A and B are shown apart, each in its own frame.
Chain A
Amino acid sequence: MITLRVNGQVQAYDGDPSLPLLWYLRDELGLTGSKFGCGEGLCGACTVHLAGNAVRSCAVSMADAAGHEVVTIEGLDPRGDHPVQRAWRAVNVPQCGFCQAGQIMQAAALLAKTPNPTEQQITEAMDGNICRCGCYQRIQTAVRAAATGV
């Protein structure tokens, strides 16, 4: 039996320990905010916080997640008012929106550790998160805005 905390709630899991955390979140818990984009840790759409670090939940097994605190986009802020979420709305970042939960979780993890990142640090931190619609210019602007306050 694997236990972990997801968005503050203790969860118990007794299935295949090699199951990627992403599918446990989406299919077993119904937390569909974390998206499936590649399954290989290449696109960042499934990014969640594991013990405070941004990780690709498609590349973390349930065995690896055991005993840890997981935060998904649904748990980032109870009212959806995290500074990164506010900045995303102020800049009108999304187009289709599918990658944006992963982008926001990645940016939130960056700012938690580096509250005033340089432009280069923003670019480097966000480089693992693909946006096929091409909202990058606005992502860069929004992360900067979240750091400086909106």
Chain B
Amino acid sequence: MSHIDNPSHIVENVSRRGVLKGVVASGAVILVARSLPAQAAGSLPKYTTGASAMPHGTVNDPHIFVAIDSAGLVTIVAARAEMGTGAARTSLPMILADEMEADWARVRIVQGEGNEVKYGNQDTDGSRSVRHWLWPMRECGAAMRMMLETAAAARWGVPVEEVEATNHEIVHHGSGRRLGYGAVAADAAKLATPARETLRFKDPAAFRYIGTGSIPAVDLFNITTGRAIYGQDVRLPGMKYAVIARPPVLNGKLVSFDATEAMKVPGVEKVMELKGWTWPAKFQPLGGIAVIARNTGAAIKGRDKLKIVWDDGEHASYNSDSYREAMKATAAKPGQVARNEGDIDAAMKGAAKVITAEYYLPHIAHATMEPLAATAVVTDAGAEIWSSVQSPGGTRDDVAKTLGLPVEKVVVNNMLLGGGFGRKSKCDYAQEAALLSKALGGTPVKVIWTREDDLQHDYLHTVAWQRIDAALDSNNKVIGWRHRSVAPSIWSTFIPDPKHLQPLETSMGLIDMPFDIANIRCETGEAAAHTRIGWFRSVINIPQGFAVQSFAAELAAATGKDQKEMLLELIGPPRIVDPRKSVKELWNYGEPFESYPIDTGRLARVLELAAEKAGWGRKLPEGHGLGIAVHRSFVSYIATVVEVAVNKDGSWSIPRVDTAIDCGFHVNPERITSQIEGAAVMALGIAKHGAITFKNGRVQQSNFNDYQVVRISEAPKVTNVYIVPAGIEVPPSGVGEPGVPPFAPALCNAIFNATGKRIRQLPIGNTIAI
């Protein structure tokens, strides 16, 4: 099969023959069954995670993840996707290296191909990497360390209890003899992996890398020198470049096309129809007309010259303005009950005051910096894909299904992802490349999505209307809470449209609402999907969290209270909130509730921490305001204080952000900080600019001119991040996503405090009408 023409510059993939051969020749990755004497039990975690419920679970075997050559170079396989969090290629290998007492300077990382039977679950999504893999990586490292010790003890003919692995060598305590890891690697590789119950773990106080933030991202040098290879950068000998004109309206059908002018463009070699699937079709391609050329520029120019007639079909009726009004009307009526506690109707009837507010958030597009790209070679022998995907194992399955091949005949090589944010969980682009290569008789084809393609054929974040009604008694205590959430469901991507949010979605900021209120009802309203709906970083926590946290501040304003004090009053005393007593199904981000409960003590603590660090209540310059919000998502607790500065002309900026995160035990605080800094920028973009709108079924935006994202001049000047300390006994929780939801409500709460203006519909725009 083909291989990459520039191996020294590629993200190394273990499926590439050269690398694999190198690993095997150096004497590891050979599994020979042999039993090992049971050793003293180590301290395995007292909690469980949802990792085992994921497809293919986790793998903790060093025979899969580690190779050591005779010079002592340790190779660790990164099997998950690296999209900038640092989790896949830095933090997880670092856990393994630390636990096996490897010297990080003598560790290299290779990228695992898509193969979940071998590596366990690879779906890099849901802020799960460290949460699910902290312990499997520790177990893997501990097993490898013990195998090295066993091999060295055998070499010396001494009891294994007398030897200890430390910093890349094994020491015999009695004699002071030492052996490097490379010297015993071949012997260690012949040993069976010790049983999990027999593993001995390092004392966390002895961690060299975990928790220090001292290890730069593995790809840092290559990124700064242009050597890092992303899906867009893959090059194969004889490769052709393809761009595709897709139906502009969901389920639109091709009527006819004329490629005469396109074929006249220098460099254009072929124009052909690509099969599409009728919605819902999961991640299968939309179909369209593909232009194949000798370079990307020619392919794009050729596509511009195509004359295509589409039959738009029923979704041509989709118009964002009228859809918003329809959602608003739906929210005015009772919906399907998703959570019901107490008697909300009686509470409303008996209320001294009822406060109502409604909130709207439009569709938003992921707009990963790297537009989608995939390269494929499909012959009778099988299929090989090179791409940047969040789920390499899932991509393998989907490509195999689309091509009608057994999965064993599909190889998916994963490159670095130039951003993911949930878009690259959907591998339609990899399937397009596979179908084109197959149609071209095995010619290597790279499919490139332009930015216009990316914005107009995204799996968009849903559009949402939220309405909250609160009943207050004569003492201004909140005695009733009714929240209606109206938004098309992600499930419309997978099954015939249920037209109501499903438990996975209602559990993200609707039915998991943690406030201490006697009468609660949460409802969903009917909303049909007219475009592909997908998950975007932090998912429907964005609009639902925006509504709840904006409304809390509205209650503060209505009752003359401080925003933070109002939140603390609503959160109530430290306790475990368990909505399951009145909820059919609570999706706890895939985690056991017992390990990851809804803990209002932790929620209040991050609120207090952010407020304290931000100097909540401090004197501010004229036109400035502070706003606060707190939200639990991806089983982490995050509070944000935003300082806004609003000028007399309505223009505004953000001098400062303070965010506190409680994500349990944490591995790489430096990358956690960068994630939270970045989340503030992305969330600001959602609040200020983000809006994908439809007219006659078509996306109206096309590029960064009309779908704006935040630039450096408008980014928060300073974002301070505070991580709540936690010991190894506290289960780790999500980091990549939960920074987003509290930002927009904190911002709008700050704008209210600065100006008295309450913003309930996003985006805000460049100026605030005061």
Residues of A within 8 A of B (CB): 15-16, 18-20, 22-24, 26-28, 30-40, 42-43, 45, 72-74, 76, 80, 85, 88-89, 92, 94-101, 104, 123-124, 126-140
Contact = CB atoms under 8 A, between A and B. Distances in A.
Nearest to A74: B226
Interface stretch (B115-123, B596-604, B671-679): B671-679
Interface in B62-103: 83-86
A100 B6 CA distance: 21
Contacts of B448: 36
A96 B677 contact: no
Contacts of B416: 96-98
Contacts of A28: 295
Leading 3 A-B pairs by shortest Cβ distance: A33-B226, A134-B681, A98-B418
B369 A137 contact: no
Interface in B643-685: 670, 674-675, 677-682
Q: Name, among A88, A97, A130, A136, the residue most crowded by chain B CB atoms within 10 Å (CB to CB).
A: A97
A133 B223 contact: no
Contacts of A16: 265-267, 297-298, 301
Interface residues of B, number: 69
B712 A95 contact: no
A64 B664 CA distance: 55
Nearest to B674: A95
Given A42-B704, A92-B220, A95-B674, A140 B226 contact: no
Contacts of B297: 16, 19-20, 22-24, 27
Contact of B235 (A24, A32, A34, A76): A32
B224 A15 contact: no
Interface string B351-389: 000000000000000011111000000000000000000
B30 interface: no
Nearest to B228: A97
B226 A73 contact: yes
Interface string B698-720: 00000111000111110111110
Given A27-B296, A40-B704, A132-B367, A97 B219 contact: yes
B216 A133 contact: no
B220 A134 contact: no
Interface in B256-292: 265-267
Interface in B566-589: none
Nearest to B451: A38
A98 B682 contact: no
B296 A32 contact: no
B716 A137 contact: yes
Nearest to A142: B224
A7 B670 CA distance: 35
B497 interface: no
A27 B444 CA distance: 14
A36 B703 contact: no
A96 B370 contact: yes
B227 interface: yes
B295 A137 contact: no
Interface in B139-155: none
Given A96-B416, A135-B674, A88 B224 contact: yes
Contact of A96 (B6, B417, B450): B417
B323 to A, nearest CB: 27
B418 A30 contact: no
Nearest to B235: A30
Nearest to B299: A23
A30 B262 CA distance: 25
Interface string B303-331: 00000000000000000000000000000
A126 B226 contact: no
B551 interface: no
A146 to B, nearest CB: 11
Interface string B2-28: 000110000000000000000000000
B369 A98 contact: yes
Contact of B678 (A72, A85, A95): A95
A37 B677 contact: no
A129 B713 CA distance: 10
Contacts of B225: 33, 73-74, 76, 80, 85
Contacts of B628: none
B682 A132 contact: yes
Nearest to B417: A96
Contacts of A136: 681, 710-712, 715
Contacts of B450: 39
B682 A89 contact: no
